Amino acid sequence: MNIIICGAGRVGFTIAKLLTEQNHSITVIDQSSDDIQKINESLDVKAIVGKATSPEILDRANTSDADMLIAVTRNDEINMLICQIAYSLFKVPKKIARIRSQEYLDPKFSTLFNKDNLPIDYVISPEIEIANSLQRKLEAPGALDNVPFAENKIRLLEILIDEKCPIHQIKLKELTNKFPNLNAYILGVIREESFFTAIETERIALAPTFVFCLVPSSLINKLSIFSC
């Protein structure tokens, strides 16, 4: 994908690094020549010094050919304006904006971000993401991470297995018999940075092992089985 990132600060740099590692074509725009120099020295991206609100700068970045634009400058209003210009002048299909102010995210102003008003497809809110991450960790005892899917009907859990964990050394096919209330589907495990698909005859052993499993959200608070 051709992706334009507006903002070369810590957030923009991190996003650019992750996306280049996934072989996307990245262009970064920022007013700070120092930040752009750091990007140029560290990453294989096209970097432009200039205002991301400038149609000329966006045109130089070939914004009309972009599949996505991510606005993560330090200013909410600048990020919103960048997305508006990207949509109005360059018809960028996907626009993502970093919005820190909770005022803009108030549910009573939910109609603000749409094609008729501000054409922003996705909003990144650091404060909300941190709060949601903490909530997910508290909801699933023993889990390193807890990600909701299917409108929160199911959860993907990542669990670290050690010798104190109740499911240590148990074969996958024996989990249901030993823990009839588990109702979880084991997807696979990670050992020594490699992912392996779950095999029923395999034991959940140490290595260390990170187990990934799907569980219904209704049972998330009953998973003391994974508490180590």
User: Where are the domain boundaries for CATH 3.40.50.720 in the chain?
Assistant: 2-124
Q: What would the pLDDT profile of 12-38 be if each residue is shown by its tens digit?
A: 999 999 999 999 999 999 999 999 999
Top-level CATH class of 2-124? Answer: alpha beta
Give, in words, the CATH class of 141-226. alpha beta
- Residue ranges of the chain that CATH labels 3.30.70.1450: 141-226
Q: How far apart are CA 22 and CA 44, in angstroms?
A: 12
Question: What pLDDT, in 10s, does the model give residues 182-222?
Answer: 666 777 777 677 777 766 545 565 555 556 666 666 655 55
Residue (of 18, 38, 16, 17) closest to 28 by Cα position: 16
